[in-house]
């Protein structure tokens, strides 16, 4: 993955090791990207080369790598000192991927006559205070609609490799998924889902959660589709990494590792097959309109 060629986002706040904290609004609830130590090494056998989803086969390998522009964006409220973090590859990676999401979603929103408001991303260690309360690193990366910010402990990326989902595009998928929750927040989907969840049973609430997460997976695929068309930032094997990551966090995978028998009523994020399916849907079509998991499930928001 040629992440070094991307511009660095300036919508990052580094709270690792006593970094500066921005004022936070109260309220809201988290919609986390759930990862647990139950993740294990497990491969998926793909019937076709996933690179063909974006017509990449035989093409990406011909492009040169190396660093391109390292200039930051023009977003306000800058709290990320890139010059102080040149040796921090994890921080630089996050900044680059966030920059890709900003540029791509800005163009997608503009195509619909709308303006994209990018989220802030907070890097933290061990635990963090957010508009959704205090969360520990054990919760994994998460998005808080209460303050419209994404929270990531960069140590998570090392754990991701140990838990069976290695690769830089696997990490990019994590970020893309959390940004997708921000898109849902901007669209008003998050609020509608939470309102509906308060009026239904636990089983139905879980089903709504699954539909929310699957839509975020699809949006992450849409982002990758359009970013690849613009920048050719993916290399051979990258999409396999993303699809593997999507599968490794399936509810059925986690439940089996925990010694429990998977049942759909227990799911909150979707099965491995569902997560791959919807991520692939976004990758193949690049169409936000094809990501309406609620409509396909007969749910009216």
Residue 43 banded pLDDT, cuts 50, 70, 90? very low
Asked, for residue 67, whether it belongs to a domain, the answer is no
What pLDDT digit, counting tens, does each position of 90-127 carry? Answer: 899 999 999 999 999 999 999 999 999 999 999 999 99
Average pLDDT, the chain: 78
Asked, for residue 23, whether it belongs to a domain, the answer is no
Q: What is the pLDDT of residue 18?
A: 54
Residue 172 predicted with pLDDT over 80: yes
The helix or strand, by DSSP H or E, that contains position 130, with its residue range, turns out to be: strand 127-130
Asked, for residue 81, whether it belongs to a domain, the answer is yes
Asked, for residue 48, whether it belongs to a domain, the answer is no
Q: What is the mean pLDDT of residues 283-290?
A: 95
What pLDDT digit, counting tens, does each position of 58-72 carry? Answer: 222 111 122 222 222
Pick left, alpha or beta for residue 113 (phi over 0 → left; psi -120 to 50 → alpha; otherwise beta): left
Asked, for residue 270, whether it belongs to a domain, the answer is yes
What pLDDT digit, counting tens, does each position of 208-248 carry? Answer: 999 999 999 999 999 999 999 999 999 988 888 888 888 88
Asked, for residue 51, whether it belongs to a domain, the answer is no
Listed in sequence order, the residues at least 6 apart from 92 whose beta carbon sits closer than 8 Å to its beta carbon are: 8, 82, 85, 86
Asked, for residue 241, whether it belongs to a domain, the answer is yes
pTM of the complete model = 0.77
Name the more confident of 81 and 132.
Answer: 132
Q: What is the DSSP string of 13-64?
A: EE-TTS------------------TT--------SS-GGGGGT-TTTGGGS-
Asked, for residue 68, whether it belongs to a domain, the answer is no
Domain range for residue 90?
A: 3-18+30-36+73-296
CB 269 within 8 Å of CB 276: no
The rounded distance, in Å, linking the Cα atoms of 171 and 161 is 9
Question: In total, how many domains does the chain have?
Answer: 1
């Amino acid at each position: 993955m040629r992440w070094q060629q991307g511009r660095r986002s300036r919508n990052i706040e580094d709270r690792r090791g006593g970094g500066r904290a921005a004022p936070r609004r109260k309220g809201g609830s988290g919609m986390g990207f759930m990862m647990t130590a139950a993740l294990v090494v497990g491969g998926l056998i793909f019937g076709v080369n996933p690179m063909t989803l974006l017509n990449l086969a035989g093409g990406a390998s011909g492009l040169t790598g190396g660093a391109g522009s390292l200039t930051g964006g023009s977003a306000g409220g800058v709290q990320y000192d890139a010059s102080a973090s040149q040796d921090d590859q994890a921080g630089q990676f996050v900044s680059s991927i966030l920059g890709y999401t900003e540029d791509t979603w800005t163009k997608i929103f503009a195509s619909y006559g709308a303006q994209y408001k990018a989220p802030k991303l907070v890097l933290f260690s061990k635990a963090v205070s957010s508009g959704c309360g205090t969360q520990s690193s054990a919760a994994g990366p998460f998005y808080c609609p209460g303050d419209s910010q994404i929270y990531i402990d960069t140590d998570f990326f090392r754990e991701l490799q140990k838990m069976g989902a290695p690769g830089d595009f696997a990490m990019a998928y994590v970020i893309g998924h959390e940004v997708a929750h921000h898109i849902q927040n901007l669209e008003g989907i998050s609020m509608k889902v939470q309102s509906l969840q308060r009026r239904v049973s636990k089983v139905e609430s879980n089903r709504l959660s699954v539909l929310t997460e699957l839509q975020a997976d699809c949006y992450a695929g849409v982002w990758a589709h359009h970013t690849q068309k613009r920048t050719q930032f993916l290399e051979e094997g990258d999409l396999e990494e993303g699809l593997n990551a999507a599968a490794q966090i399936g509810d059925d995978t986690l439940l089996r590792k925990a010694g429990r028998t998977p049942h759909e009523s227990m799911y909150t994020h979707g099965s491995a097959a569902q997560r791959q399916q919807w991520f692939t849907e976004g990758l193949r079509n690049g169409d936000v309109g094809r990501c309406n998991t609620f409509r396909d499930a007969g749910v009216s928001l």
